[in-house]
Each structure stands twice: as structure tokens, then as C-alpha cells.
Amino acid sequence: MNEWFDDFKTAVAFLTRLPMPHPDGAMPANFVRAHRMFPVVGALIGAAVGLLCLGLRAAGVPDLAAAALALGGSAVITGALHEDGLADIADGFGGGRTRESKLEIMRDSRLGTYGAVILLVSFAAKLSALAAIPSGYVVPSLIAVHALGRGVLPAMSLNLPYARKDGLARNAGQPDAATATVAGVLALLIAIVSLSWSNAFYAAVLAGMSAFSVAWLSLRQIGGQTGDVLGGAEQVAETAILVLLAARLAQP
């Protein structure tokens, strides 16, 4: 149990801006093993965002504005970690001509045109989807969305080669098959508990398809994974699942 709790704290420290003590400038020794707790931390993030959205609606804030503020709250909690990855891969894949130039652009902290456009599209899609979901489904939907979006990352990290000889992804290391399996199973269980069986099934399938699509594109573009690739994959899955649930849950 101590190992599981340590992994939970490490996952919280990595996936959020909540203060969790760990050695400065060093990756925690249990970071790779902590991948199994990614969907659990994701579920808690989703619950917090959902409760914020629900509270704003209850206070009389229009659904669209409540959704926008809740998504802003999500970025505050996570430090926009995954949004940054999505923007970087859009800039790199869209603006670079060679593998080396794509990777160099992805290292640049400045936001380019492709990155700005993809963030706008992603935010608009999530905003409209969240606003369309009935209040009774907001919290469970966001719990499932955030759990599944992070639950696919360990499997991606396990199966993709590194695109660079250095960087966050390589320094962090790759989880083993058991860790990736535990993460996937936990994400699926969270989705099943939060949603109906059919919605959980479709959401899980879409999460897998999103991860596979980003992995395939990354292999073609830069030859493998970086931290940005994993972050971008989380955002693609999160956006796709939220739109799916809105389509299935929205009142006619």
C-alpha cells in the first residue's frame, strides 16, 4: 500500500500543479511505476473540473460560460501540461520539413500558428461539448474523460521508440507491460463506474483509437515519442471522448 500511495503522490506531482515534495531537478525514483496511477489522478482532476462546472451552473452562470471557466480551471490545476504538448506537436509537425527541423520546432517554447489553431479548435470543441452535456452527467463524464485520456499514455510510452536521445520522455523512462496494463484496466474500470456500459465501451475504444492515431502520426513525422507527443495524445483523446459523450448524452 505504501508503494501505491507513493506512486499516487508522484503522479499528482507530475500531472498537476499541486505541491508534492520530491527532489529538485531529479525525476522521482518511482516515476515509471507511478504511470499506473495516471488514470486515478486523471479521475480526480475530472471530478474537480466537473464540480466547478456544476457549481457555476447552479449559481446561474450560463452553460457556455460555466464550461469555459471550468476548462480554465482545468488548465490551472494541470498547468496546461498536455495543452502545451498538443501545441508543440502541431507546430512541429505542421511547420517542419525534416525530422530534425520538426524536433527543433517542438523544443521552441514560443507558440506558432499551427499550435494556436489546434488549441483553438480543441478548446472550442471541448467548450461546446461540455456546455451541451446535461448537469446530471457533467461530473461522471469528466471523470471518465480525464481518466481515459491519461490511462492510454503508459501503453503509448511502452510501445513507441524515443524520437530524441535526450528529453523528458527518455529521461523519465518507459513503463513495463504490467504497469501499462494496470493503468489501462483502472481507466476502463473508472469509465464503467462513471458511465453506462455502452458509453464506457465507446469512450474506451475512442481513447485507444486516439492514442493509436497520434502514435502512428508521430512515428511518420519524427520517428517516435517525446513528452509533447504523449501530452498531445492525451488532449486528442480528451477532446474526442468529450465530444462523443456530448453527442450521446445531450438532450434533443
**153-207 confidence digits (pLDDT tens):** 999 999 999 988 776 666 677 899 999 999 999 999 999 999 999 999 999 999 9
Q: Look at residue 87 and tell me if it is in a domain.
A: yes
What is the number of structural domains in the chain?
1
**What's the predicted TM-score (pTM) here?**
0.94
Q: Look at residue 128 and tell me if it is in a domain.
A: yes
Q: What is the DSSP letter of 32?
A: T
In this prediction, residue 252 has a pLDDT band, given cuts at 50, 70 and 90, of: low
Q: Whose grid coordinates read 481513447?
A: 207
Find out whether 146 and 42 touch, Cβ atoms under 8 Å. Answer: yes
Smallest Cα–Cα separation from 146: which of 198, 202, 78?
A: 78
Find out whether 130 and 53 touch, Cβ atoms under 8 Å. Answer: yes
- Residue 127 domain boundaries: 37-249
Q: Look at residue 43 and tell me if it is in a domain.
A: yes
Q: Look at residue 27 and tell me if it is in a domain.
A: no
**Higher pLDDT, residue 252 or 161:** 161
The sign one gets for the Cα dihedral 153, 204, 75, 18 is negative
Q: List b or e across 186-195, with b for residues whose CB sees 16 or more CB atoms inside 10 angstroms.
A: bbbebbbebb
Q: Look at residue 198 and tell me if it is in a domain.
A: yes
φ/ψ (deg, to 5) at 163: -85, -20
* Cβ-Cβ contacts under 8 Å for 203 (sequence gap 6 or more): 144, 145, 148, 191, 195, 241, 244, 245
Tell me the percentage of the chain whose pLDDT exceeds 70.
Answer: 94
When pLDDT is averaged across residues 16-36 and rounded to a whole number, the result is 78
Find out whether 155 and 233 touch, Cβ atoms under 8 Å. Answer: no
Mean pLDDT taken over the chain: 93
When pLDDT is averaged across residues 35-42 and rounded to a whole number, the result is 97
Q: Look at residue 4 and tell me if it is in a domain.
A: no
Cell of 168: 523528458
The pLDDT value given to residue 125:
98
Q: Look at residue 209 and tell me if it is in a domain.
A: yes
Q: Look at residue 135 and tell me if it is in a domain.
A: yes
